[in-house]
Chains A and B, each alone.
Chain A
Amino acid sequence: MITLTIAIFLMGVIVVGLLNKYPKTAGIIAFFVSLIPFFALLSWSSVMNITLPSYLQFLNFETSWQYNLGPGTLILQITPLGWFFLLLLSSLFPMVILFSISYFRSNAGGFYAAMLLTMLGSFGILLAQDMLTFYIFWEIMSWSILALVIRGGDRKAIVSYLSFGALSAMLILFGFMLLYFKTGTFVFAEMHLDASNLVLAAITLIVSGFAVKGALMPMHVWAPHVYSKSEEPFVAFLSGGLSKLGYFGIMLFMYGVVGFSLLSSWGTFRGVPLFGYSLAVVGAFTAFAGTVLAVMQDDLRKLLAYSSIGQLGYIAIGLGIGTPLALTGALFQALNHTFFKAVLFLAAGAVYYRTGKYKISELGGLGYKMPFTFLASLFAIFALAAIPITSGFAAKWLLYEAAIEKKFLFVTPIMLIAGVGAFLYVYKILYGVFLGEPRYNVKEAPLSQLVPMWILVLPLIIFLIFPGWFVDLTAPILQGYEMTAIPHTPYTINTSLAKYNTLAVIFAFIGTLIFAFILYLSKPQEKVDHMDNYLAGEPPELYDYISMHASSKYYEPFEEVFYPYFKRGAERMWEIILAAGEVFGSGARKIYTGIVGDYSIYILLFFLIMVGWWLLW
C-alpha cells in the first residue's frame, strides 16, 4: 500500500501539473489524493492503542515498508511519534487544499503539484527509520517548498529561503555523516551511541539544522519573508504543518536516537541536561523576541509569521526541559499551533480574497460583514492567547508547570511575559481587521473556505474539554523513551504541583455566563450605527471622510520603547557573519598564489604537521 501511495502521489503530481488550465478540476483531484495519508493514519491507529471501528479503516496499510537501494535500504515504518505528527499534517493538508479550490482562480496546477510533493516528503520523513530515507524525503520536501516560494515571486523570500534551506540541509547532512562515521549504520534502531564529543557535535549540528525549519532564533530570518510573500494556503500549511517537522526532527534525534540518559551524560544543570537547558533558553528567547516583533508589524502576514516564531519557541522550551510533563506540553503546543495558526492564516487568506488587502491599518470592521470568519479566527485567537476556553491554555499550562517543576526561575517569567505580549498582537488583529469602523462592503467568505476553517477549529474545542485524551495520545510516544504519561483522567490533568480540571472551568464559566446573561436580558436595547459615537459632541455625519479607525501605528508607544533594542535584528547579525566570512575568504584566497614553489612548501608543511601529530600522539 505504501508503494501505491507514493505512486498515486507522484501520478497526482503529474496529472495536476498538467491541468494548469483547469484550476477547479486540479484542486478536486488534489483534494482526493490528499486524503490518502489520513486514511493511512486511521489504519495505523493501533500503534497508538486506539481501536477504531472497522468502517473507518477501509484502507489497510502495512506498518513497515522496505526498498533496497544500492548502498542501503530505505525503511519506512510507523512509530507513535510519527503517527502523532502525521495526525497534525494529514488532517491539516486536505483542509488547506479544500480552501485553495476557491482561493485560486487561475494558474493553480503548479501549486497543487508542489503541495502534493511537500506532503509526500513529509509523509516519508515521518515514517523514515534510517537517515538515508529521512534525508531523501527531507530534500523532496525542502525543494518543493522552494518551488512554492518561487511562486510567491519575492526575490528576498527566495534568496533567504534558499540560503537558509541550504544551511539547514548542510548542517543535517554533516550531522548524519558524523553519526554514520561513528556507528557505521544508517538505521536508527541499530545505532549504539556513547557519550563521546563526536556524538555531541553531531546532535548539535542536527538540532541546529532542524531549528532552521522550526524558525528558532537566530535561524528564523527566512520565515517572515517567506510567510509574508507566498500564497496564503501554502503559508497556512507551512506554518501550521511543515514547521512542526523541524520539531519532529529535534524530538526524534534528541529523545529517540540519543535518549535522555545520554543527553544527561554531557553534563546537567540543576537536574536538566545542559543541552536541553540551552535549547530551552533559546526557545524562551525566541518566544519573547518573536512576540515583541509581532506587536510591531503592520502587515497581517508578517504579524502572524512573527507570532508563529514566538509560539514555536514554546515547543522548543518543552523539548529542552525533557520531562514527561514538558514533552506532553510541547506536543500539545505543537497540536494547538497547527490548528490555530492554520485557521488564522486561512482567515487572512479569506480576508485577502474578499478585500485584496493585507495591511492591518487599511482593513477594519469585517467582523459584522464576515461573521463566521470572525468567529473562527476568534476561537483561534483565544487558543493563541491561551484563554482557558480553548485547548490553547492546557498546552501552555503544562509547559509552565514543567518549567516550575524543574525550577526554571528565569525562563518562566519570560514565557509568561511572552504570553501577555500575545494579547497585544492578537488584539491588533481583532481590532484592526475585524472590529471598529466598517470600511468594506463585502460578503462572507465562500463556503469552501469557511468549512476548512471551522473543521480546523474543532480540535481546539475537543481537546479543551478532554485534555486527557491528548495525554492518552502521548502515552505510547513517552513509552518509547522509557517515560510514563502524566497522571490524568479524561478531563483532569495532575502534576506534582497542581491539578487542572477542565470540567470545573467549563461548568463554572457556563454558570457565570448564565448569570451575566440574566443581567444582560434585564433591559431592552436598541442597535445604533457605528457613526453614532461620542466624539466630544462632534456630529460625525459632517465628517464622514475622516476615518475613525485608530489602527495605524496602533502600538506606537510600545514601538518607541522596544524599537531601539530590536532595530538591529538577526538579519544584521547574519550580515556581519557573512562579512566576516568574506574577509576570511579573501584572506584564504591569498594562499593560492599560483607559484609552484609555494605549493610545494604547503605540502611540506602539511606533512611535517602530520608527522609531528603522529609522533606526539
Chain B
Amino acid sequence: MNHENWSKLARIMSKRSLWMIHFCTGCGAMEMPPVMTSRYDMERFGMHAMATPRQADVFLVTGYLAVKTLKRVVQVYEQMRDPKYVIGFGSCTINGGMYWDSYNTIKDLSKYIPVDVYIAGCMPRPEAIMDSFLKLFDMIDKGEAIGWQKYHKYYDQYKRNQRMAFSYRLDEVKDIKEDDKE
C-alpha cells in the first residue's frame, strides 16, 4: 500500500473514531449531555468522551476562557497526540461573546491554539453541535482539518500570543509559589 492510500485510510479511521475530551469551562457545557445521551447520541459516529488528553483526538472548548483557564487548555492541547482537532464552542470562543469587554477572558481562541471548526451561538443547540461534527468529518475526509499541522508550523507565534495573554498572571503565580516555599 503506498503512502497516499495509507494516509487516506488513516484519515477514514480517524474520522470514524473521534475520541473527545471536553473542557467544560463555560455554560455551553450544559448542551453536551443531550448530545451524548439518547436524544442525539453522538456515539452513532463512534464519538466518545474520554477522560484524558492522551487518549483523545478532538478537543471541545465549551465556552469562555479566563486567562487562568487558557493555561490549562494549552497544557491539555499540547498533551494530545497528532492528529488532533479543536472545536470552538459558542460565541465566547469566537470573539468573546458577552464577555467581549471582560478584563479577564480571552477574545479569540484561534490566536492561542488552532481551531478547526467553530460553532456560533450563545449557546449553540445540540443540532448545531452535531452539524459541526459532520463538518469536521467532511474536513478530515478532504484533508482540510490541518490545525495540528499549523500549530507545529507557527509554533513560535502561538507561543508568543499565549505568553502575552498570561504574562502578568504567570508572574503572580510565581510570587505565590515563592511565598509558599518560605
Direct contact of A and B (CB under 8 A): yes
Determine how close the nearest CB of chain A comes to the CB of B54; give it in whole angstroms.
Answer: 6
Task: Indicate whether A560 reaches chain B with its CB closer than 8 angstroms.
Answer: no
> Given A534-B52, A534-B53 in contact, is the A542-B177 Cβ separation under 8 Å?
yes
> Given A538-B75, A539-B75 in contact, is the A545-B181 Cβ separation under 8 Å?
yes
Determine how close the nearest CB of chain A comes to the CB of B158; give it in whole angstroms.
Answer: 16
Interface string of A81-118 (1 = CB under 8 A from B): 00000000000000000000000000000000000000
A550 to B177, CA, bound (A): 22
Interface string of A526-542 (1 = CB under 8 A from B): 00000010101111001
Closest partner residue, chain B, to A541 (CB atom): B75
**A-side contacts of B53, CB under 8 Å:** 534
A327 to B180, CA, bound (A): 62
A534 to B79, CA, bound (A): 8
Interface string of B76-105 (1 = CB under 8 A from A): 100100000000000000000000000000
Cβ A537 vs Cβ B177 within 8 A = no
**A-side contacts of B71, CB under 8 Å:** 539
A614 to B23, CA, bound (A): 95
Interface string of A454-488 (1 = CB under 8 A from B): 00000000000000000000000000000000000
Chain B positions 19-48 with a Cβ under 8 Å from a chain A Cβ: 23
Task: Indicate whether B73 reaches chain A with its CB closer than 8 angstroms.
Answer: yes
Determine how close the nearest CB of chain A comes to the CB of B143; give it in whole angstroms.
Answer: 20
Closest partner residue, chain A, to B53 (CB atom): A534
Determine how close the nearest CB of chain B comes to the CB of A484; give it in whole angstroms.
Answer: 57
> Given A532-B79, A545-B180 in contact, is the A537-B72 Cβ separation under 8 Å?
yes
Tell which of A534, A537, A539, A542 touches B54, judged by Cβ atoms closer than 8 Å: A534
Task: Indicate whether B173 reaches chain A with its CB closer than 8 angstroms.
Answer: yes
**B-side contacts of A542, CB under 8 Å:** 173, 177
**B-side contacts of A539, CB under 8 Å:** 71-72, 75
**B-side contacts of A534, CB under 8 Å:** 52-54, 76, 79
Cβ B173 vs Cβ A537 within 8 A = no
Chain A positions 500-540 with a Cβ under 8 Å from a chain B Cβ: 532, 534, 536-539
- Interface residue range, chain A: under 10
Q: How many A-B residue pairs have CB under 8 A?
A: 23
Chain B positions 131-182 with a Cβ under 8 Å from a chain A Cβ: 173, 177, 180-181
Closest partner residue, chain B, to A533 (CB atom): B79
> Given A532-B79, A542-B173 in contact, is the A537-B180 Cβ separation under 8 Å?
no
Cβ A537 vs Cβ B181 within 8 A = no
**B-side contacts of A545, CB under 8 Å:** 177, 180-181
A567 to B52, CA, bound (A): 40
**A-side contacts of B73, CB under 8 Å:** 537
A536 to B75, CA, bound (A): 9
A534 to B72, CA, bound (A): 11
A118 to B160, CA, bound (A): 70
Closest partner residue, chain B, to A545 (CB atom): B181
Determine how close the nearest CB of chain A comes to the CB of B23; give it in whole angstroms.
Answer: 8
A534 to B177, CA, bound (A): 21
Determine how close the nearest CB of chain A comes to the CB of B84; give it in whole angstroms.
Answer: 14
> Given A532-B79, A545-B181 in contact, is the A538-B54 Cβ separation under 8 Å?
no
Closest partner residue, chain B, to A542 (CB atom): B173
Tell which of B23, B72, B177, B180 touches A538, judged by Cβ atoms closer than 8 Å: B72
A552 to B52, CA, bound (A): 25
Closest partner residue, chain B, to A539 (CB atom): B75
**A-side contacts of B52, CB under 8 Å:** 534
Determine how close the nearest CB of chain A comes to the CB of B1; give it in whole angstroms.
Answer: 13
Closest partner residue, chain B, to A540 (CB atom): B75
**A-side contacts of B177, CB under 8 Å:** 542-543, 545
Determine how close the nearest CB of chain A comes to the CB of B49; give it in whole angstroms.
Answer: 15
Closest partner residue, chain B, to A544 (CB atom): B177
**A-side contacts of B79, CB under 8 Å:** 532, 534
Closest partner residue, chain B, to A537 (CB atom): B72
Interface string of B97-116 (1 = CB under 8 A from A): 00000000000000000000
Determine how close the nearest CB of chain B comes to the CB of A419; give it in whole angstroms.
Answer: 32
Closest partner residue, chain A, to B72 (CB atom): A537
A538 to B53, CA, bound (A): 12
Closest partner residue, chain B, to A525 (CB atom): B81
A538 to B75, CA, bound (A): 7
A98 to B150, CA, bound (A): 59
Chain A positions 538-561 with a Cβ under 8 Å from a chain B Cβ: 538-539, 542-543, 545
Determine how close the nearest CB of chain B comes to the CB of A121; give it in whole angstroms.
Answer: 56
**B-side contacts of A532, CB under 8 Å:** 79
A534 to B180, CA, bound (A): 23
**B-side contacts of A543, CB under 8 Å:** 177
Closest partner residue, chain A, to B52 (CB atom): A534
**A-side contacts of B181, CB under 8 Å:** 545
**A-side contacts of B75, CB under 8 Å:** 537-539
A545 to B180, CA, bound (A): 10
A112 to B140, CA, bound (A): 72
Determine how close the nearest CB of chain A comes to the CB of B53; give it in whole angstroms.
Answer: 6
Determine how close the nearest CB of chain B comes to the CB of A455; give it in whole angstroms.
Answer: 41
In the complex, 15 of the A-B residue pairs with CB atoms within 8 angstroms, ordered by the A residue number, are A532-B79, A534-B53, A534-B54, A534-B76, A534-B79, A537-B23, A537-B72, A537-B75, A537-B76, A539-B71, A539-B72, A542-B173, A543-B177, A545-B177, A545-B181
Going nearest first, the 9 A-B pairs with the smallest beta carbon separation are A537-B72, A534-B52, A537-B76, A539-B75, A537-B75, A542-B173, A534-B54, A534-B79, A534-B53
| Extra pairs beyond A537-B76, A538-B72 (9, CB < 8 Å) | A534-B54, A534-B79, A536-B72, A537-B23, A539-B75, A542-B173, A542-B177, A543-B177, A545-B180
